[in-house]
Structure 1
């Protein structure tokens, strides 16, 4: 099995698993947390898009991943207000800006 097909299956499986977690979360007893649905939705959209080799090979894919991480951190911070999550928002925003620069300039600066 080639690497591209494995990546497609892994991302599609992860999106399906996250969707199952979202459904379980929705039907659990107790009050639902609407902000958690936003986190699950962001994850499903990103992983679903990532299951396409065309998306993964696009030059803007790393910027999309960094923006998704920033979105998850922002939603989590707005709901929790925890300082550590706020620090994650700052660092993920910087990472998104770096990836946007890398995408536009065709570079790989600060990429691990």
Structure 2
């Protein structure tokens, strides 16, 4: 199996798994924190998009990944109020700006 098909399968499986966990959380008695539903939607959407090879091959995909991290950290911070998660949200937002610059300028600055 080639790497491209393997990545597609793994991203699709992750999207389905996140969606299934989200459905299980919604269906369970007792309710959950409303912000947790946002995390499920964001995660399923990102991994669903990542399952498409054309999306992964786009030059802006690294910026999309950084924006995903920023969105997850921001939603988690707003919902939980944990300072460490807020700091991660700020760093992720800066990383998103760096990746947007890299995409527009064709560079790889500060990429790990």
Given the two structures, how large is their TM-score scaled by the length of structure 1? 0.97
**Structure 1 CA distance for aligned equivalents of residues 100 and 29 of structure 2:** 41
State the shift of 1:28 in Å: 1.2
User: Where in structure 2 are there 5+ consecutive unaligned residues?
Assistant: none
CA positional deviation for 1:27 = 1.0
The Cα RMSD (Å) is 0.7
Residues in 2 aligned to 1:9 and 1:85: alpha-carbon distance in whole angstroms = 30
**Matched residue, 1:8:** 8
Number of aligned residue pairs:
112
Aligned to 1:60: 60
Q: Deviations over 1:2-30 (max 9, x none)?
A: 11000000000000011111011111121
Name the CA distance, whole Å, in 2 between partners of 1:31 and 1:37: 11
Other-structure match for 1:33: 33
Q: Counterparts in 2 of 1:1-112, with a 5 A limit?
A: 1-112=1-112
1:32 deviation in Å? Answer: 2.8
Quote how far apart the aligned CAs of 1:43 are.
Answer: 0.4
Q: Provide Cα deviations, 1:37-94, integer angstroms capped at 9, x if missing partner.
A: 1100000000000001000000000001100110111111111111101110111011
Distance of 2:31 and 2:58 partners within structure 1 = 40
Q: Which stretch of the first structure deviates more once superposed, 10-19 or 22-31?
A: 22-31
Unmatched 5+ stretches in structure 1: none
